[in-house]
Amino acid sequence: MLIALGVTGGIGAYKAVEVARGLQKRGHEVVAVMTHSATRFVGPATFEAITRRRVITDQFEAGMNADIEHIALASTVDLLLIAPATANIIGKLANGIADDFLSTLYTATRAPVLIAPAMNTQMFEHEAVRKNLDTLAARGARFVAPGEGYLACGWIGKGRLAEPDAIVAAAEAILRPDGPLRGQRVLVTAGPTFEDFDPVRFIGNRSSGRMGYALAAEAARRGADVTLVTGPTALEPPAVREVVKVRGAAEMHRAVMLRAGDMHVVVMAAAVADYAPLECAGQKLPKDGDTLTLVLRKTPDILGDLGHRRVSKGGGPLLVGFAAETENVVAHATAKRENKQADFIVANDVSRSDAGFDVDMNAVTIVGAAGAESLPLQPKSRVAEEILDRVEKLLAARPAEARHGSG
Ligand code: C5P
């Protein structure tokens, strides 16, 4: 995952080098963002050598604003970690002051924020600093508490930057929380697909992506390494290992097939188009006739292909499919489970206006090997929990090599 490591001007800045190294050892990419005063303690070249990336030291460096870098970085980082965080940066973040790259990045990102304060004991205990820390905590920021010990200013007390190992562990706990799905690679598809038939028009559907996004977020909360393959949606993606944005069914098929071999679980919550225009015109289609005929061709059945690959090759990920039905919900879902060789199918009646497509609630029937089980109308986040409870049970019943194998 990509971590923005904010380094501010405290004596503990040298320890941030160890933090960067520790994060990289665990497979993360680190981009260092140094405040001006941090560069007085440690040279940017040190971070550059360790992270093998350009170190950001200035909002107004030449070339910095060509792609509005703080916004570009804000939307791609999985975690903003500030270590050490001085009283000054804590004050700025708490109060929305954005006068340099790091403070601007904080206001621009929606990634989780982890702060490791470091300052003199008196400063740390000052009412203004405490208030700012409380404000940040209430906003969801998390902290690695400073340690007690000998401080650079000669005091003995609380305020010394936490040890790099503790900071790395805290970052890992946010990025890869411990949980029942820890170590499991889970791919979730979400959203509709858009099937273009000219440069400005497409055939789509009313899926909002909420069910798939809720599943991806819940699987990540349970510690899984989550890949979200998403069709076009207006939703903010959850913090997961990888988000792959696709448009049409064929592109989604490629994205899923490429990754499925490495997965322990694939949940196909996307409302994939069943048919797509045979051709996409190079130019906008003119409005010449009273009618317009589009020839559609069946799209590749992603779940079906995964199911059949599993049958022919053996092994393969646990497969969960969805079925959006308007009638005979259980019968259709049961047939779908057989046809696609899925472990279970989550069926919803999309003719209901209070559940299913484009609303926050869902009432589903889960059709598995043992039959059908209807769940009450509940938020999609709860439905995601129910689905993953069943995934966990099925995983536990699988042979150990399928659960822990390299895929
Ligand atoms: O066949 P039907 O579209 O009703 O099946 C729905 C399930 O199959 C969903 O899980 C959906 O994500 C998946 N699907 C697919 N590829 C398609 C169409 C649907 O994987 N082309």
Residue spans per domain, the chain: 2-175, 185-404
168 lines ligand 1 (CB under 6 A): no
Same-fold call for 2-175 versus 185-404: yes
Amino acid symbol at 148: E
Backbone dihedral region for residue 24 (phi beyond 0: left; psi -120 to 50: alpha; all else: beta): alpha
Task: Identify which of 235, 234, 282, 274 has the alpha carbon closest to the alpha carbon of residue 252.
Answer: 274
Residue 350 or 126, more confident: 126
348 lines ligand 1 (CB under 6 A): no
How far, in Å, from the CA of 319 to the mean position of ligand 1? Answer: 12
Q: Phi and psi (nearest 5°) for 240? A: -130, 175
**Helix and strand totals (H; E) in the chain:** 15, 21
How far, in Å, from the CA of 341 to the mean position of ligand 1? Answer: 12
Residue 223 or 359, more confident: 223
Give the residue, out of 230, 251, 268, with the most ligand 1 atoms within 8 A of its beta carbon, to mutate for a pocket test: 268
Which of 56-70, 119-133, 134-148 shows the lowest mean pLDDT across its residues? 56-70
Alpha-carbon distance of 270 to 248, in angstroms, equals 11
Task: Tell me if 317 sits within 8 A of 268, measured CB to CB.
Answer: no
How far, in Å, from the CA of 301 to the mean position of ligand 1? Answer: 6
- What CATH class does 2-175 carry? alpha beta
Atom of ligand 1 nearest to the CA of 324: 4
- pLDDT given at position 407: 37
Atom of ligand 1 nearest to the CA of 339: 1
* Banded pLDDT at 148 (limits 50, 70, 90): confident
272 lines ligand 1 (CB under 6 A): yes
- pLDDT given at position 326: 87
Atom of ligand 1 nearest to the CA of 302: 20
- What CATH class does 185-404 carry? alpha beta
Enter the tokens of residue 343: 């472990």
Task: Identify which of 65, 50, 167, 62 has the alpha carbon closest to the alpha carbon of residue 118.
Answer: 167
How far, in Å, from the CA of 336 to the mean position of ligand 1? Answer: 9
How far, in Å, from the CA of 36 to the mean position of ligand 1? Answer: 53
Helical H segments across 15-97, by residue range: 15-25, 38-41, 44-51, 69-76, 87-95
- pLDDT given at position 61: 64
- pLDDT given at position 405: 43
pLDDT per position as a tens digit, 358-407: 778 889 999 999 999 999 999 999 999 999 999 999 999 987 656 544 43
- On average, the pLDDT of the chain sits at 91
Neighbours of 22 (CB within 10 A): 18
| Range among 69-83, 133-147, 236-250, 294-308 rated most confident | 294-308
Torsion of CA 66, 68, 74, 77, to 10 degrees: 0
89 lines ligand 1 (CB under 6 A): no
3-state secondary structure of 160: strand
> In sequence order, what are the residues at sequence separation of 6 or more whose Cβ sits closer than 8 angstroms to the Cβ of residue 24?
30, 50, 51
Which residues belong to the active site? 153
Atom of ligand 1 nearest to the CA of 321: 10
Atom of ligand 1 nearest to the CA of 298: 21
pLDDT per position as a tens digit, 161-218: 999 999 999 998 888 878 999 989 999 999 999 999 999 999 999 999 999 999 999 9
- pLDDT given at position 315: 86
- pLDDT given at position 117: 94
pLDDT per position as a tens digit, 6-55: 999 998 999 999 999 999 998 899 999 999 999 999 999 999 999 999 99
Q: Could you check whether the bond before residue 84 is cis, i.e. omega within 30 degrees of 0?
A: yes
How far, in Å, from the CA of 335 to the mean position of ligand 1? Answer: 13
> In sequence order, what are the residues at sequence separation of 6 or more whose Cβ sits closer than 8 angstroms to the Cβ of residue 241?
1, 220, 225, 226, 227
- pLDDT given at position 60: 65
268 lines ligand 1 (CB under 6 A): yes
* Banded pLDDT at 150 (limits 50, 70, 90): low
Task: Tell me if 204 sits within 8 A of 189, measured CB to CB.
Answer: no
